[in-house]
Structures are given as structure tokens and as C-alpha cells.
Structure 1
Amino acid sequence: MTSVRNHRPLLSGNKWFILVLALIIGACSPKVRTAPSSTVKTTTEKPAEKKEEEKSPVKAAEVKQSVISLILPLVLDNAAAGKTYSAADLKKADMGVEYYQGFKLALDSLTATGANYKLQVFDSKDDVAQAHSLGINPQVKNSELVVGPIFPEDIKAFSAMLTSPRKPLISPLSPAAPATFRNQNLVTMTPPLEYHAIGAATYIAKSIKPKKVFILTSGFSDEKLYASPFKRTIDSLSKRKIPVVTITVVRGNLTPLVQQLSTKDQNIFLVPSTKQAFLMVTLRSLDTLSKKYPVTLFGHPNWEKFAFLKSALLQRLNTHITSADKVDYKSAETNDFLRSYRHAYHTEPTDYAIKGFDQGLYFGKMLAEGEDFTKPDLEDYTGIHNSFHFIKKPGLGWINTHVDILKYQNFDLIKAQ
């Protein structure tokens, strides 16, 4: 899931125009060539003997330039004289600029090693008609790689114009299910909710191996998007030897479960809800239950963003969640990136910038190495913010399925595996 933590303040007017100018001026990342230093003769040097036959200089092979198109919601019409950005439009534009900055920093680092790119930036305006128009733009269609649009409705309109077998179309931030778009060229970078459920179920079945799993629901149908693939995975991996009991909880009443609980073994609970009122009551009831029965709780990946869920309570419940974008700020790679980003842009990177960097580095390397994007498998990759493990599904393209299992410990979230 795409989570946004430490989101920096919205851009001021002056800074916005500077960044727009940077987008225009810096859209291309040309290969950097270092000219050889000249040799200065001293008076004591003897002239070199002339060879009988001077060989003609060998011309260095030109590095192929890879063309990449970024389609981002910059909403530049609002930057015209006499117009202003609404708060919503400015937030979208901010997101687009941050992603661009991270992506371009990755290409710049690859350029320094000899790669050669032309980076084209197009404004999707977060408008379906504009996205549709960009889908038939020859400059976009002829690119080696297309990244964007960002939002599901724009992706749907854009990808509808690019259905024939061709180079990949990257969905960089949306966790929307690929079945929403049904495009064989799509590469979904953010794991959809289904794969969070599969990841949690796989961890439970293989690492915990419980005798029974309880799913506590509020009764809302949207919870099935998580609960259904979770149950299917447990059933499949355990060959139905681990029973999955689904119960609709009313006003936090867990009494009907008591007779099924163990006082010795861990009692595994999944709560797929994101409703604040339901969670506050139900988790308090689980907390009371945990004083007598061992409890291990698995929650929805969006819980990480909920300030109303206190870490002390989650820690007492031995809470686990799945995540696709945990940054290790202690790693050398992360600190190298932070220094480079601060030097280039004089600000702190947001999650969008770090995602842009990871994805720019991944696909930039593939283009530089001449990788064949039509092959059925894309290589695994561990980045600063995201890790990638792709599967390919007929008619749906490539899907990143990698999620980490995190648990609350010492009032922090750490990897459980």
C-alpha cells in the first residue's frame, strides 16, 4: 500500500516555479563525458619518435540513448498568470514533483556511470481526457519506457490506448488491482491489497503454524477484499488443516469465542477493518482477553497510518501488519541517497521521492543493460523504500507481490522476517 509519512509542507509559489523550470530545463539526462587532460611538454622533453605508420584514432562507440516518458499530475495550467492552485491540486502537483526529483536523481547517478537517457515529462493534469490524449501521443508511444499516470482513472484512460503488445507501462504508485485496467503491458509497482493478505497468511501458515485462526469482522463488505484472499491462502497452504473461523463482532463482544481459545498456545486473530469506531472497541476487548489468553493480532496495512491506534496497545496485542515500503534509515545506501538528494534539491525527500528513486534506478539499469522487457520474468530487486518481486498474469501484466511482515516491538515497527 502507498503510505505517506513525514510529508513535507506544500510548495510555496516561488519554489513551485523554480521546480517547474527545473522540469523543463532538466528534462534530459545526457551522457556525461569527461574530456582527457592535455599534456604540457617541458623544455627537457625529447620529441617522441615518429612511428612509421600512424594508426587512425578509434572512434568511441556511441551509447544508445534510452527515451523515458514520465506522466505526472503537475496541473501546470494553474501556474499561468491570473490562476491559482487549489489545495487539492497543489497536493497532487507536489506529489508529481517529488516523484520526478527522485526518479531523475536515479537517472543522473546512472548517467555518471556511462548510461544515456532522454527524460520526457508530460502533465496528466489529473484529467481523464488529457490522459486519453497522451495515450495516442507519438512521443509517448515511441518511448522505451512509460511511467505513469499515477491515479487509477487516469491509468485506465491512458492504458486503453496502449493495448497491443509493446513495451511496459509502469503504474508507479497506485495499489489498484490490475484487473481494474486489464492491460497486458502494465507493471504494477505497489502491491495490491490482495498480496498483503497473501503475505500475512503465508507467514502465519509457515512460521506460526497455529491450530486455528479467527477473523473478526465488522460486517462491512469491503473487508472481504482482505479477508477472502487471506482465507484462501491459509486453506491452500495448510490443505485445510488450519481452520479459519470468521465472526462478526458486535460492540466488541468476544464472549462467543472464549470456549475456542487456548490458554497455552498463541490465539491468532485477523482484523481486516479500517473503521475507527469498530477498531477502538474491538481492540480494547482483545486487550482484556489477552490478560488470560495468548493473543497475536494481524491487522490491515493501513493501520500504520492511524494515529488513533496507540503503539502501547498494539504492542500488548503482539500486533503484526504487512508493509511494502519500509525505509531502513540506518543503512549506508539510504544515507548515501539522503545526502545526494539534499545536495541536489536542498530539502528532505518524501516517500514519493524515495519511491521515484528506487523505480528510476531499477528500470534505468534495465534499459542501460539492454534487458528484454518482453520476457516473462522481471528480476527481483531490493531498494531503499521498496523491494520488487514480480509475477506475470495473462492479460494483467506484471505485479509486484513483495510485502514485509512488521511487528510492534519497543514502540516501533520492525521486520518480523
Structure 2
Amino acid sequence: MTSVQNHQQQLSGNRKLKKSYITYALTILLGVSACTPRSTVLRAPGSIGQVSGTENNTAQNNTENQASEKGNSAKAKKIAAERTIALLLPFQLDNISGTGVEEKDVKRSALALDFYQGFELGLRALNNKTFNLKVIDSKDNTYYNSTLASSEEIANSGIIIGPVYPIEIKAFGNNLADKNKLIVNPLAASPASEFGLNNLVTVTPSIKSHSKGIASRVASDHLTGDVIIIYQASDNDSRQFLDGMSSAIKAANPQANIVSVSTLAQLNEKLSTTGTNQIISGTTDKTNLNNLISNLSKKSSESFYSIRLYGHPLWDRFDFGTHSNFYNLRPIITAESNLKSWTNQARNFRDLYKQEFGVFPSDQSYKGYDIAQYFGKMMDKHGAENLKSKLESESYTGLYNSYKFVYNENWGFTNEAVSYKEYMHGSFQLQ
């Protein structure tokens, strides 16, 4: 199952604006169509007959000249590749009918369009930095991606951004001959271990990264006299989120006092009156979560219990309005995004995006911008060939995402950077 969300651009409202956006999208789609590559088939040269005497010397000179030209050509291609980015996005142009691009086609391509537009602005913001950007329709097609991996356009690119969907990533990555060339997974939150590609860069933090983020925060908040209570629930999200939680906390704070429970009765027995009760829950089951909050809210109202609740990132999507005292539990969750919409940088990007494209940016637009900024700067600074040795040492804080990459020889680079949100004034807000 893909974790990529298709936040489609809103096309409702002013008809003139809608028509303007569709017209612009049509221009982009036609442009992508024009530069969509086909796999190149290399043919062996024909047999050369035997020659002698002067003919042999001439043939030798010709061969040497051809070899020299070939060497110069290869060198030129290598230099060009250092500034070339292949951007593989699922525009799905093959699904457009012969009568032309319609609004439904734009909606289907919304994820790709939004990301591309943000990416374009990100590269443009790198003043005086020239890149050759190849925009390629990955078509959301497994077989096509497997053949695309061997195309000349990919071979002559320094870095590959995309494909987007997990099944595309697997097909493309497994068939890419140059295993030293980085493939950036820009949106899918699937665990990198599912792909088994040591040249893959997974930008979106996985649930394991969120789990590590909570473990780090709990360990940092922990003081002498506090108790950490891991509340184990039976739903899959809870099991996945809490897997390895205790050992991760211990690694960060060996003195941490940790207990695990699986029922509310057990939890109540472990509550301490001498310090803060740091409760960790990964459940997303609404009944289980409501019961937990009701129980903790009741205990929190008793003056001798100090409680702080740490939870699953999906809690950000839930409505806790029925729990009027939920904020008293001082809930903390992790988040992928660090977007602060009130800052000048965020406002300027939003205004520029609206001015350029007639609509406001989506999450994919912000992500495209950040990826262009980070990898564009890294390519300019170190060159495409040296990126693999530099990613771990250079972190990044962008408009929407932060990057802190950790390398594993089995599945490549994963982004461990997460932000923290606290529940205040009726919603989870960035700290």
C-alpha cells in the first residue's frame, strides 16, 4: 500500500482562474510529452572486411581518430551529467484521450503537476546555478519504469528524482544498471527496507523514523523520579509504532525508568506520584484511544498525578473535541512537516506560487521546492558523483521538510528528521 497522498489541487471557484490553470497545465503536459524518452537500443556495428597495406594504415588512423572522438564525447557527457537532473513523475499522459486535455486529466496529473511546479521554483531560486532538467512521465506503469531505467536519458543524468509510487520505484531501481547513481524517493513513506536499494534516498520519514523521534524526545524530557509507561495496544499501528521503543529510549538515556503495560488497569497501577508519568501510546483505534484519554484525564484531574502523553503522528488527523481536558495531558506527537505558514519565507513562496500558477501550493508543491533546493545545492557544491559521500554530513531545514540522512548499506539513505507538535487551542501545533 502506498503512503503517498494525492492532495489534488482545488479547481473550484472562479471560472477564469480554473480555465487559466487548466491552460497552464495543458502547456506543461504537452511539454512533458515532448521530452518523454524512449529506451535506446544499441546495435552492434557491422563486420569489417580484411584490408592490407596502405588501407590497413588508413583504417588504423581512422580507428584511432574515432576512439579519440569517442573519448571526448564520453567526457563531455560525463561533465553534462554533473548538471543534469532527471525528474520522473506520474503525469499519465497515456490516459489522455485524443480529443485533448480535459479537466479530469489535470486532476489525475495533479500530484505530478504540483510537485513539478514547486520543483521548478526551487531550482529557479538557486540564483546563477544552471541545471539541465529532464521532465519524464513515469506513467504509473511498472513495465514502462523497468525499461525507462535503461534509457539514454537516465544514463546521461547525474541524479534521478522519482519515481513516486513504491511499485514504480522497485521496477525502476531493480533495472538501473548504475548502482552508484542516486535515486531520490520524493514522496512515498514506505520503509526503505522494502526496496532493498542501497542507492535509494528516501525523503519522507517512515513510521520507524517517527518512532525514533518520540523515543528521543521522551528520553530528553525524562528526569530522575519520572516513569515512562509504554501502553501496548493490539492494533497494527500501535505494534508498528512501539516496536523497538524501549531499546531506543534506553540507548538515548540509559538511566530511564521504563515499564510496559497492555491494559488500563495495569497502567493505573504503574502511575507514580513522585514525578512525571510519561505515557507513550501508538494506538489509532478510536475506541481504545478514547478510553485511554478518558482514563488519563480522570487521573490528571487528581492533583497528585503529573502526566504527559506521547502519541502516533496520525493523531494529527483526529478530532479530540469531545475530550475537553485533552490539552491537560500535554500531548506530543511527531510530524513530517515543519511548515510555518506565518513566516516571511513561507508567505513569499505562497504568493509567488499563486502568481506563477494561479493556485495556491499543495503539500507536494512545498516538497518539490525543498527537494530542488537541497539536491540542487548539493550537486552544485559537490558534483553528482560525490553526493553519496556527502548526504549524511549535510542536513537541511526547508519550507516544508527537514533532512537528516542516515545510510544503511542494504537500503540506502533514510531521512530521520521529524518535527514535534503539541496539542494547544484545539489542535496539534508546531513547537
Q: TM-score, normalised by structure 1?
A: 0.80
Separation in 1, partners of 2:421, 2:429:
5
Question: CA contact under 8 A between 1:4 and 1:351: conserved in structure 2?
Answer: no
Matched, 1:223 2:252: no
Question: Aligned to 2:421, which of 391, 406, 412?
Answer: 406
Separation in 2, partners of 1:211, 1:277:
28
Question: Aligned to 2:379, which of 352, 367, 378?
Answer: 367
Deviation at 1:119, TM superposition (A): 1.7
Question: CA contact under 8 A between 1:23 and 1:121: conserved in structure 2?
Answer: no
Q: What residue number does 1:280 align with?
A: 290
Separation in 1, partners of 2:426, 2:364:
25
Taking a change above 3 Å as real, the CA distance of residues 5 and 201 of structure 1, as seen in their structure-2 partners, is: farther
Question: CA contact under 8 A between 1:78 and 1:84: conserved in structure 2?
Answer: no
Q: What residue number does 1:93 align with?
A: 109
Q: What residue number does 1:67 align with?
A: 84
Matched, 1:336 2:348: yes
Taking a change above 3 Å as real, the CA distance of residues 166 and 415 of structure 1, as seen in their structure-2 partners, is: same
Question: CA contact under 8 A between 2:231 and 2:267: conserved in structure 1?
Answer: no
Separation in 2, partners of 1:223, 1:126:
31
Counterpart of 1:256 in structure 2: which amino acid?
Q
Deviation at 1:375, TM superposition (A): 1.2
Taking a change above 3 Å as real, the CA distance of residues 159 and 247 of structure 1, as seen in their structure-2 partners, is: same
Matched, 1:147 2:164: no
Separation in 1, partners of 2:211, 2:177:
29
Taking a change above 3 Å as real, the CA distance of residues 384 and 194 of structure 1, as seen in their structure-2 partners, is: same
Alignment of 1:205-244 (within 5 A): 205-209=219-223, 211-239=226-254, 241-244=255-258
Separation in 2, partners of 1:287, 1:228:
26
Q: What residue number does 2:47 align with?
A: none
Q: What residue number does 1:120 align with?
A: 134
Q: What residue number does 1:9 align with?
A: 10
Q: What residue number does 1:169 align with?
A: 183
Taking a change above 3 Å as real, the CA distance of residues 258 and 341 of structure 1, as seen in their structure-2 partners, is: same
Matched, 1:271 2:272: no
Q: What residue number does 2:68 align with?
A: none
Taking a change above 3 Å as real, the CA distance of residues 300 and 403 of structure 1, as seen in their structure-2 partners, is: same
Q: What residue number does 2:311 align with?
A: 299
Q: CA RMSD in A?
A: 3.0
Deviation at 1:329, TM superposition (A): 1.5
Q: What residue number does 1:41 align with?
A: none
Q: What residue number does 1:21 align with?
A: 27
Deviation at 1:19, TM superposition (A): 0.9
Separation in 2, partners of 1:259, 1:218:
17
Deviation at 1:267, TM superposition (A): 0.9
Deviation at 1:264, TM superposition (A): 4.4
Counterpart of 1:129 in structure 2: which amino acid?
Y
Deviation digits for residues 347-400 of structure 1, max 9, x if unmatched? 111111001001111111222234321315441111010111111111221111
Deviation at 1:14, TM superposition (A): 7.5
SS of the aligned residue for 1:160 comes to helix
Counterpart of 1:390 in structure 2: which amino acid?
F
SS of the aligned residue for 1:290 comes to helix
Taking a change above 3 Å as real, the CA distance of residues 230 and 91 of structure 1, as seen in their structure-2 partners, is: farther
Separation in 1, partners of 2:409, 2:156:
24
Question: CA contact under 8 A between 1:10 and 1:90: conserved in structure 2?
Answer: no
Q: What residue number does 1:260 align with?
A: 270
Question: CA contact under 8 A between 1:27 and 1:121: conserved in structure 2?
Answer: no
More helix by share: 2
Structure 1: unaligned runs, 5 residues or longer: 29-62
The count of residues paired between Structure 1 and Structure 2 equals: 374
Counterpart of 1:104 in structure 2: which amino acid?
E
Taking a change above 3 Å as real, the CA distance of residues 68 and 27 of structure 1, as seen in their structure-2 partners, is: farther
